[in-house]
A and B are shown apart, each in its own frame.
Chain A
Amino acid sequence: MPLSEEKIKELIKEAIPDASIEIKDLMGDNNHYSAVIKSKLFNNLNKIEQHKLVYKSLKGKMGNELHALSIVTEGK
């Protein structure tokens, strides 16, 4: 089942409370998104660790219910 934009934001916020998140539904199908996520938690992490933090916040949905979420992460 596809995941709504709001649900994605909610999951990320749960794990990364200070995150500012911009999400685009690329195809209007609730299945292909791109997101820019900024958080202080990213400040001392490398890109791989930053993306892992986001994937972990999605609790295993990435690659399953959520087919495609391309992400750009930045510190704050």
Chain B
Amino acid sequence: MEIKDKINSLIKENRICLFMKGTPDAPQCGFSMAISNVLKHLNVNFKGINVLDDENLRQGIKDFSDWPTIPQLYIDREFVGGCDIVKEMFEKGELKTLLKNKNLI
């Protein structure tokens, strides 16, 4: 499968999809841990995809989003942001509102 198709199906199958280094239970990077903790704190179900398991995916997701860093958060197939943006949205209460509006919380 083309990497683009793989990413498309991942973000289609998982309404909240976090591309990260490591897993939600064992993050391998502080930034990935930060977003993962935010989502856990908000008590939402999310799928963590470990890009370290797949070098094609690690580069593929950067190209797909036109975004140079990981983690990357997708909600309902839409790129929400990386660590800085998600953290900022969380602090301003915007992330909670977004999730509520989508009935994900």
Contacts and interface: CB of A to CB of B under 8 A. Distances in A.
Q: Do A and B come from one complex?
A: yes
Interface of A: 47-48, 51-52, 55, 60, 62-63, 68, 70-72
Contacts, number: 31
B82 A51 contact: yes
What is the interface residue range for chain B against chain A? 10 to 19
Given A48-B79, A68-B31, A63 B84 contact: no
A60 B62 CA distance: 12
B68 A62 contact: yes
Contact of B85 (A51, A63, A68): A51
A72 B68 contact: no
A11 B70 CA distance: 22
A72 B84 contact: yes
Nearest to B31: A68
Interface in B9-68: 31, 62, 66-68
Contact of A60 (B68, B70, B79, B89): B68
A63 B62 contact: yes
Contact of B69 (A47, A48, A63, A72): A63
Contact of B83 (A47, A60, A63, A70): A70
Contact of A48 (B31, B62, B68, B81): B81
